[in-house]
């Protein structure tokens, strides 16, 4: 059996170049995909975009570091001017998440996170990819605010703020259990709770 085809990033990257990267530059960042950096009087700010290992989704993280030189335990001197986001402390990082409106079991609506900005099922639809990238662009001001103030908006996940998850561990467990329970070696359709099997 051939391996599953990785979703194309072509249309998403095109939308990022047209819609997202100019906004990153407008915020004062320099660099190129996937890494950007900005200098403020006291700090460096970093942005990094990343995709899922097997494609189908992207997100971005921001981080900050005080300007200065640091010496590691081996005596090697580092200047934060030469850093990337990978050099920053985990407590000095935040990630952007996609927020959607979800209907709760009690029929109330809530804004919850799905994590990545997923495009696996829309990878060939240019308009849908542009719409998704516009959602990510709308989160940039929240990341910019967090970098300046450390105050997280609803779509920013940081050490002090965790957006509510649209797919919680408990819900995923129930979904997996339901799939296992529905599997039947006799090829009989599973019974539906509350239905009358006699017809």
- The answer on pLDDT for 5 being more than 90 is no
CA 83, 84, 86, 91: dihedral to nearest 10 degrees? 80
pLDDT score for 165: 81
φ, ψ (nearest 5 deg) of residue 60: -150, 155
Q: pLDDT tens for residues 135-183?
A: 999 999 999 999 999 999 999 999 999 888 876 666 666 656 665 665 5
Lowest-pLDDT range of 15-29, 54-68, 180-194: 180-194
Q: pLDDT tens for residues 79-132?
A: 888 889 998 999 999 999 999 888 777 788 888 888 899 998 899 999 999 999
**Residue 124 contacts by C-beta under 8 Å, 6 or more apart in sequence?**
8, 11
Contact 50, 61 (CB under 8 A): yes
């Amino acid at each position: 059996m051939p391996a599953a085809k990785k979703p194309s990033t072509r249309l998403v990257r095109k939308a990022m170049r047209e819609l997202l990267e100019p906004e990153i530059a407008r915020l004062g960042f320099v660099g190129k995909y996937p890494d950007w950096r900005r200098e403020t009087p006291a700090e460096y700010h970093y942005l990094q975009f990343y995709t899922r290992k097997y494609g189908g989704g992207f997100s971005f993280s921001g981080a900050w570091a005080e300007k200065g030189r640091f010496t590691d335990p081996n005596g090697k001197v580092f200047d934060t001017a030469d850093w990337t986001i990978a050099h920053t402390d985990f407590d000095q990082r935040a990630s952007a998440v996609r927020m959607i409106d979800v209907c709760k079991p009690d029929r109330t609506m809530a804004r919850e996170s799905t994590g990545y900005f997923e495009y696996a099922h829309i990878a060939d639809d240019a308009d849908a990819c542009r719409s998704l990238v516009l959602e990510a662009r709308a989160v940039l001001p929240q990341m910019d605010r967090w970098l300046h103030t450390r105050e997280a908006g609803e779509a920013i996940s940081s050490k002090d703020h965790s957006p509510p998850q649209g797919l919680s561990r408990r819900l995923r467990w129930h979904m997996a259990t339901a799939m296992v329970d529905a599997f039947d070696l006799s090829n009989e359709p599973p019974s539906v709770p509350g239905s009358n099997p006699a017809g």
